[in-house]
A = this chain, B = another copy of it.
């Protein structure tokens, strides 16, 4: 059995967060594909609480929650720093990663995956507020400076998944006029080899999102 295993599904932005971290560190791992419609015994055993991927397994010890996993990886393996090394900068990186997970992604998901106009408007407004704080925070090529760091990884959904979701559900959050820095960052991010080489097919993702939205629209009628 390999020392490092990742239970995941292909194309999940949260699973890919962990894959970026593993690639940045140059860690060999085996990817165990799960099926979320018929969850494996292994997934239920390793993550009985959330029953979700990613699950990271190191020497038989499982961890879940992508940000928790990545901080563990950063502390366990050397040769690239995903988190800043200094106290205050490190704390701010934790703050912004948490902000993305608590205040940006949830309203985006709610705005996207509904056919209720009011719910979409309310959550769009909330998402735009959060995105504006993030736009203001971007002062270099990456949130982490000249190289990818934890905040870039936390925000990675915005770079690749969100544009496909926007197209599939007819929503526009990341407009040129409001978020020029985030859009430039998106291009930089998805063009990094460690990212680009494992991104799912945009066409496949778009098809998946379109049928998901069609199903929501149909069930709301």
Those of A49-87 within 8 Å (CB) of chain B: 49, 58, 61, 63-65, 68-69, 71-72, 75-76, 87
Interface residues of A in 91-149 (CB under 8 A from B): 91-92, 94-95, 98-99, 133
- List residues of chain B with CB within 8 A of the CB of A91: 63, 68-69, 71-72, 75
Cβ-defined contact, B88 with A68, below 8 A: no
25 A-B residue contacts at CB 8 Å? A49-B99, A49-B133, A58-B88, A61-B88, A63-B88, A63-B91, A63-B92, A64-B95, A65-B94, A65-B95, A65-B98, A68-B91, A68-B94, A68-B95, A68-B98, A71-B91, A71-B94, A72-B87, A72-B88, A72-B90, A72-B91, A75-B87, A75-B90, A75-B91, A76-B87
Binding site for B on A (CB under 8 A): 49, 58, 61, 63-65, 68-69, 71-72, 75-76, 87-88, 90-92, 94-95, 98-99, 133
Main secondary structure of the interface of A (DSSP, over half): helix
Known: A49-B133, A61-B88, A69-B91. 9 other contacts (CB 8 A): A49-B99, A63-B91, A63-B92, A68-B91, A71-B91, A71-B94, A72-B88, A72-B90, A75-B90
Residues in B with CB closer than 8 Å to A95 are 63-65, 68
The closest CB in chain B to the CB of A97 belongs to: B68
Question: What are the nearest 5 A-B pairs in CB distance?
Answer: A72-B91, A68-B94, A68-B95, A76-B87, A75-B87
Q: How far is the CA of A148 from the CA of B74 in the complex (A)?
A: 26
- CB neighbours (8 Å) of A69 from chain B are 91
